[in-house]
Chains A and B, each alone.
Chain A
Amino acid sequence: DIVMTQSPDSLAVSLGERATVNCKSSQSVLYNSNNKNYLAWYQQKSGQPPKLLIYWASTRESGVPDRFSGSGSGTDFTLTISSLQAEDVAVYYCQQYYSSPPTFGGGTKVEIK
């Protein structure tokens, strides 16, 4: 199975400041035949199910604010919240769909400083 490792476990950022979450996969999730990274990001607010934010490592799901962006390739990925809002307090997960079984990172908790 591909192991997804996120860092940090938690971070506190001031409102309006940038938040950065990292995700590393134990093997590349870049598919050479189509040059796509099979990597998704989810947001889970307290008491709610996860919500898909980003797929193909950098494509925002419909309706997701453009302050959320994804980057990276191969084994190293980043989710950036460009200007943290109060409603962005949540746990963020990465997930690979390069191979089965799909696997998730352990999550990064983002809080307001």
Chain B
Amino acid sequence: QVQLQESGPGLVKPSETLSLICSVSGGSVTNDNYYWSWIRQSPGKGLEWIASIYHSGTTSYNPSLKSRVTMSVDKSKDQFSLKLSSVTAADTAVFYCARSRYYYESSGFSFDLWGQGTLVTVSS
């Protein structure tokens, strides 16, 4: 079955760029039925959607983070990635990648398969 696995540094310095990769196994990021997303979870802010991408490269970003976020997809490796720039301690969270259902009529997403998550701490 399809599995997602996050990877990347667990510690990032303030003002630097957080970079994460999600590897999809047992399936393909080119599946026409799904978008691929990043969601974070912190004690202070709960679950927060960050961004989503389709295999065509079409992206959707949370307006609250849009100025700092970049998502990309690598179809040859069945991976998608997240870059979050100018991080602060407030960005410390568990970051999840997830497979997403997209609802065209509402531009909304639900999340039907999640990776195990990776803790990223922002600290000097």
User: Chain A residues in contact with chain B, CB under 8 A?
Assistant: 31, 33-34, 38, 40, 42, 48-52, 55, 61, 93, 95-107
Contact = CB atoms under 8 A, between A and B. Distances in A.
Nearest to B66: A101
B106 interface: yes
B5 to A, nearest CB: 11
B28 interface: no
B117 A49 contact: yes
Interface residues of B, number: 25
A56 to B, nearest CB: 9
Contacts of B26: none
B46 A97 contact: no
27 contacts: A31-B106, A33-B105, A38-B103, A49-B96, A49-B98, A49-B115, A49-B116, A50-B111, A52-B111, A52-B113, A55-B101, A55-B112, A97-B101, A97-B103, A97-B106, A97-B108, A97-B109, A99-B106, A100-B107, A100-B109, A101-B64, A102-B49, A102-B109, A102-B110, A103-B49, A104-B48, A107-B47
Given A31-B105, A49-B116, 14 more contacts: A49-B114, A52-B110, A52-B113, A93-B47, A97-B110, A99-B107, A100-B107, A100-B108, A101-B62, A101-B63, A104-B46, A104-B48, A104-B49, A107-B47
A95 B46 CA distance: 12
B110 A95 contact: yes
Contacts of B63: 101
Contacts of A42: 111
Contacts of A96: 108
